[in-house]
């Protein structure tokens, strides 16, 4: 035992020492904690662990944004285009940006010059649900860390691109994959897993960011055991998530889904990490009578212990694939630390960030058919029973009754992150208005096979628009302003102290609007659809704005009538950077 363990310990020590030596000026915990308050770097997905996507920079503002021009652009190249949903991270004059097919580029942030490229070798047989995308990387010490489509976590040296450590998270042949940007908290790298359409079991993992060694795992399906790990890799039970069998019938909890595929946020004031969980498996809700915890929920996890402190379930017994993975963004309201979440089910929720108590809930899209409202006393939805897809076992034609549901399963908001401005006290939400015909079908679990038990067709609701960027007051639920868009919005939002809101459209535009009025004050055609969130930073006294361009993602793959409506959009793969011209 000792003979086998010694080489492993020596290798881990060398990797840690090498990282520390190379990273003398690397990213620290203190820098990550301050990321939301500074503009010199972008160290986290969300411009701070809270995920507000607010920058205090104001060099670019409503008065001069009309002069914004390209500083440089970089092509991801090759034939590996497809969807590009990555948010760049920037540190020490370097930009690190992921691309489709599990690639990562290091670029000079001021000039766009390529410093190095890492291409992860993907095996045949990967099963990503919704395109071969990646949403970004995390920075810590002298490492850049990202997840891959074959469910591995890779840490690279920021200066050279060399692999420092690599860990297998799970079995891609069973449907597991990784597409979210990792979250760094107190020297730990927190990740979720993708694959809810294949009957995987969702979970959150914490690893030592310098070595990749597991520290704890927390399943997000009720009935599964959590674990902690000592420095030698020995495993110890850390309590079952919930109560086995309480909200799941039979053995369905063993393949229950609830994948944490969008990643998480963290608030240092509460000490909690917040992860959204996806749909329960299978989609056919008649097979799994009960609430099916912790699917379609926000779970708040104590980072030190790996235990769930509270949960709030947005869609109990989900029958429409209303994944609850949307980001939980913490902010101050009425002297309280709270969190906002624009859920795929069409409702916006405000919860106490420390306890999970529901404080407010209201629709942020115009048409919701599955529920009339959310009961603020119980926290539960007031369902419209006849708008749940029918039970196929009571039908003669082999499928259940078809219903029309809005929003569609692609959601009132999907992966595209919203932004919050402490200046205007408004959320800026990329919303979509669409519906679907949906029906249930018989289904049985088979490892590595799609586990849906439903069929669907996405439908448009309006002739003139699908997407709408909406400024929303979380206290009143009022839509203060909106900017409609012909195609669905699928990229994220950035807001700044310069009274600006930036967002992209599938038609290829990066746009900026006045944060208070919604008036569009600048736009630029990037050449392909924007399905990624913009960022901004300051370097050598110059404020830069950047976005990744490249049409793809779930809409052209799953979008039905909507996909056909926007099939003229071209694929691409570029990162664009803008700045004001010199006076």
The residues that are catalytic are 321
Compute the distance between CA of residue 388 and CA of residue 395 in angstroms, rounded to an integer: 15
Tell me which DSSP letter residue 344 carries: T
Task: Tell me the sheet residues that pair with 153.
Answer: 147, 167
Compute the distance between CA of residue 316 and CA of residue 319 in angstroms, rounded to an integer: 9
Contacts 24+ apart (CB under 8 A), 90-93: 90/41, 90/42, 90/43, 90/535, 90/537, 90/539, 91/27, 91/41, 91/42, 91/43, 91/139, 91/158, 92/25, 92/41, 92/158, 93/539
Task: Tell me the sheet residues that pair with 554.
Answer: none
Task: Tell me the sheet residues that pair with 459.
Answer: 435
Compute the distance between CA of residue 254 and CA of residue 445 in angstroms, rounded to an integer: 10
Compute the distance between CA of residue 73 and CA of residue 548 in angstroms, rounded to an integer: 10
* Among 461, 509, 517, 468, residue whose Cα is nearest residue 488: 468
Residue 226 in 3-state DSSP? strand
Tell me which DSSP letter residue 125 carries: T
Residue 583, exposed/middle/buried by CB under 10 A (0-12, 13-18, 19+)? Answer: exposed
Residue 538 in 3-state DSSP? strand
Which residues fall within 8 angstroms of residue 459, CB to CB, at 6 or more apart? 404, 408, 434, 435, 436, 437, 560, 561, 562
Report residue 11 CA to chain centroid gap: 33
* Among 186, 188, 184, residue whose Cα is nearest residue 211: 188
Strands 493-496 and 336-342: unpaired
* Among 292, 276, 570, residue whose Cα is nearest residue 415: 276
Residue 285 in 3-state DSSP? helix
- The alpha carbons of the chain give a radius of gyration, in whole angstroms, of 22
Q: Is the dihedral of CA 168, 170, 174, 180 positive or negative?
A: negative
Compute the distance between CA of residue 346 and CA of residue 431 in angstroms, rounded to an integer: 9
Peptide bond into 294 cis (omega under 30): yes
Residue 460: how many CB atoms within 10 A of its CB?
Answer: 17
The Cβ-side half-sphere exposure at 434, using a 13 Å CA radius, reads 35
Compute the distance between CA of residue 384 and CA of residue 373 in angstroms, rounded to an integer: 10
Q: Is the dihedral of CA 242, 243, 245, 251 positive or negative?
A: positive
């Amino acid at each position: 035992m000792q003979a086998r363990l010694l080489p492993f310990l020596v290798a881990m020590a060398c990797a840690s020492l090498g990282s520390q030596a190379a990273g003398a000026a690397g990213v620290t915990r203190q820098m990550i904690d301050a990321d939301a308050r500074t503009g010199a770097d972008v160290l986290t997905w969300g411009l701070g662990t809270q995920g507000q996507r607010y920058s205090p920079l104001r060099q670019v503002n409503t008065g001069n944004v009309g002069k914004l021009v390209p500083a440089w652009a970089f092509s991801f190249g090759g034939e590996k285009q497809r969807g590009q949903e990555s948010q760049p991270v920037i540190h020490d004059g370097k930009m690190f940006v992921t691309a489709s097919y599990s690639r990562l580029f290091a670029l000079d942030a001021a000039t766009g010059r390529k410093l190095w490229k890492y291409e992860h070798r993907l095996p045949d047989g990967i099963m990503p649900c919704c395109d071969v995308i990646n949403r970004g990387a995390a920075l810590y010490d002298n490492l850049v860390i990202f997840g891959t489509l074959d469910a591995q976590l890779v840490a690279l040296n920021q200066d050279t691109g060399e692999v420092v450590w690599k860990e297998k998270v799970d079995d891609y042949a069973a449907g597991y994959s990784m597409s979210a940007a990792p979250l760094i908290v107190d020297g730990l790298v927190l990740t979720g897993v993708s694959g809810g359409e294949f009957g995987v079991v969702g979970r959150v993992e914490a690893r030592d960011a310098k070595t990749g060694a597991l520290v704890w795992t927390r399943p997000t399906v009720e009935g599964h055991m959590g674990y902690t790990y000592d420095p030698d890799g020995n495993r110890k039970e850390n309590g079952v998530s919930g109560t086995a069998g309480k909200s799941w019938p039979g053995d369905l909890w063993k393949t229950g889904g609830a994948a944490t595929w969008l990643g998480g946020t963290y608030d240092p004031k509460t000490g909690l990490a917040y992860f959204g969980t996806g749909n329960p498996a299978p989609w056919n809700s008649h097979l799994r009578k009960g609430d099916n915890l912790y699917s379609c929920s926000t779970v708040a996890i104590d980072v030190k212990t790996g235990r769930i402190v509270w949960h709030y379930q947005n869609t109990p017994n989900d029958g429409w694939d209303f994944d609850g993975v949307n980001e939980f963004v913490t902010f101050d309201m009425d002297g309280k630390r709270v969190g906002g979440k624009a859920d795929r089910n069409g409702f916006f929720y405000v919860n106490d960030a420390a306890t999970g108590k529901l404080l407010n809930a209201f629709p942020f899209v115009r048409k919701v058919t599955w529920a009339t409202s959310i009961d603020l006393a119980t926290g539960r939805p007031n369902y419209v029973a006849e708008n749940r897809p029918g039970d196929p076992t009571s039908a003669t034609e082999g499928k259940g009754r078809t219903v029309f549901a809005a929003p569609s399963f692609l959601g009132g908001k999907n992966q595209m992150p919203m932004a919050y401005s402490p200046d205007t006290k408004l959320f800026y939400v990329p919303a979509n208005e669409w519906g679907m015909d949906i029906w249930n079908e018989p289904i049985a679990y088979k490892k590595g096979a799609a586990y849906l038990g439903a069929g669907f067709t996405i439908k448009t609701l309006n002739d003139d628009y699908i997407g709408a960027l909406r400024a929303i007051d979380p206290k009143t639920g009022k839509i203060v302003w909106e900017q409609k868009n012909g195609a669905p919005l699928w990229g994220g939002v950035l807001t700044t102290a310069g009274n600006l809101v930036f967002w992209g459209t599938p038609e290829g535009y990066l746009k900026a609007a006045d944060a208070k009025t919604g008036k569009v004050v600048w736009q630029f055609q990037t050449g392909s659809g924007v399905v990624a969130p913009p960022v901004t930073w300051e370097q050598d006294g110059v404020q830069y704005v950047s976005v990744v361009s490249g049409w793809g993602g779930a809409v052209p793959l799953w979008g039905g009538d909507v996909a056909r409506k926007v099939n003229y959009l071209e694929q691409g793969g570029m990162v664009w950077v803008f700045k004001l011209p010199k006076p």
